[in-house]
Amino acid sequence: MKTVKFWILSISVSIGAAQANDRIAGDTTSYSSPNGVQERCVSLSAMPGGNYGDEDKKQEKALCSINFYDSNIAICPKLRSTSPGTFVYRLGTGPYEGNQQSFEQEVCPRGQIMVKEADGNPVSFKVTMTDRTTSGTISTASLLYYHFSRYLDANIHVPVAVWRSMDRTTHEQRVTRKGLEHSAGKKSLKMNHAAWQILDQAEKDPGAYRDTDELFTTDRSQIYGVMLNVRGKRYGPEFMGTRKSGWGDGQNRDFQQTAPFLALRSDNPLADAIAEGRAKASEDPDLRKAMGNGISNEQLVYWMQDVTEITLLDYIFTQQDRIGNVDYVSYWYWVDGDEVKFAENKPDSVTDAEKAKRIRRTWLNDNDAGGKARYANFTRRTQMLEKLRHYNPKTYRLLMAMDRDFSEQGKLFEHVRDTFGLTASQFENTVKALQDAAAIIRSNCEAGKLRFDLDPDAYFKSGNSPEHEVSCNG
């Protein structure tokens, strides 16, 4: 369960200040609601130089092919956690085939995510909801994380996200009213119910929601958010830390006492840093228990890379609710010639003699408590970037290239400014945060504190990752 507090550090923002908006750029698919409202699904334009796979484009197309008014598409209110999301189900086979209305009346109230009556996992439709009585959710953040992760060629999996709008009246009738009704009177859904109350008021009167442009299109006829596929199991203390110091700064410092983070903090060469990180983490009985029979060196190196990417993205986007909200999917990894391959199911051709290993790979699904300057940037507050002593040379070069581009107001600068629907202040905050992050990591390099020896695939192949010489200017 997501347990996020909404912590605003700066409350001096003008009530009338412009917010994120629907002026986004990309390939558009249009739909018409029963009320004649023209809805949009937009696959945002790719980041210049970004590494997008064929599967990314396939998922973007699949997400934008979903028509909420198709009789084989059902939408249900999210009746768990804290935000007023929507689950989108396909009904192409099974007992509710072609019967959207019955599914929404009979299955949605159960509040389950996975339901046997639908075809596979639901798609998540997330909208913005930020109020003192609710958690903090900004839909734009999912788009930023997706596209920036592809530019940085990240090892972590950040879900494909597309921008989607929907007739606000229809959404209020089909989803919000039911979310309000079925969350009422349930202690465990107190914050979820508060979010549905505020969303219901806003959809009836958009002006009732303070940051109107973050939730509604310019003409106020539609609510908007993002659509994405999420999956995976939630990490425990072995990766996220014990969280025994409480929400906020405390649990973010606990995160820095895990084996992968302690290894990243070590000044020693990679092999010694791995051993040091594991040994120090094991001094905490809760972490020792969470690590069970031990964590392989290969797993720790992949996690070290994941932590460098998570901390970088979270710093840039002012993420305030990362700890406890990271998932993983387990894969089989093996070496085939000079190539590292992986699959969820081990192929018959891969034998134990070939040393196939189970590796948990990080899925960064929950990114919606970022992208807003008023959020608490715990990565910055607890100085995570300053403490890193190992880095991937490719990640470093890409970060420095983006920093130079932003300084020169180049293609990346223009793309971020013109694509994501950011206001001037949001854009400026993003640029500044990225440049600050680059300056911190570059400073570590210039001080001789940074070892460029983090390459998980190289380590998996040979049990060693060579240290590279890298210019601190990238």
Residue in this structure with the two tokens 């600050």, named with its chain if needed:
436
CA nearest 203: which of 182, 184, 186, 180? 180
Tell me the pLDDT of the chain averaged across its residues.
92
The residue among 3, 11, 5, 100 whose CA lies nearest residue 373 is 11
Residues 199, 212 contacting (CB under 8 angstroms): no
Minimal CA–CA distance to 129: which of 94, 56, 174, 78? Answer: 78
Neighbours of 234 (CB within 10 A): 15
Using one digit for the tens of pLDDT, what is the confidence trace for 134-145?
777 899 999 999
C-alpha span between 15 and 392 (Å, rounded): 42
Q: Would the pLDDT of 1 be above 50? A: no
Burial group, residue 351, by CB count within 10 angstroms (0-12, 13-18, 19+): exposed
pLDDT value at 3 more than 60: no
CA dist 298 and 379 (Å) reads 25
- Which residues does 420 contact at the CB level (< 8 Å), separation at least 6? 20, 24, 44, 140, 143, 144, 147
pLDDT of residue 4: 37
Given a cut of 70, is residue 380 above it in pLDDT?
A: yes
pLDDT in tens, 395-451: 999 999 999 999 999 999 999 999 999 988 899 999 999 999 999 999 999 999 999
Candidate ranges 123-132, 299-308, 370-379; pick with highest mean pLDDT: 299-308
| pLDDT confidence of residue 10 | 29
User: Would you say 461 and 384 are in contact if contact means Cβ atoms under 8 Å apart?
Assistant: no
Per-residue pLDDT, 353: 58
Considering only 14-23, 140-149, 192-201, which range has the smallest mean pLDDT?
Answer: 14-23
Structure tokens at 88: 């989108």
Question: 442, 43 in Cβ contact below 8 A?
Answer: no
- The residue written with tokens 């793309």 in the block is 415
Indicate the pTM of the whole model.
0.94
Q: Which pLDDT does position 294 carry in this prediction?
A: 87
Write the burial class of residue 144 (CB in 10 Å: 0-12 exposed, 13-18 middle, 19+ buried).
buried
Angle between helices 424-446 and 393-408 (to 10 degrees): 130
CA quadruple 149, 154, 158, 161: dihedral, nearest 10: 40
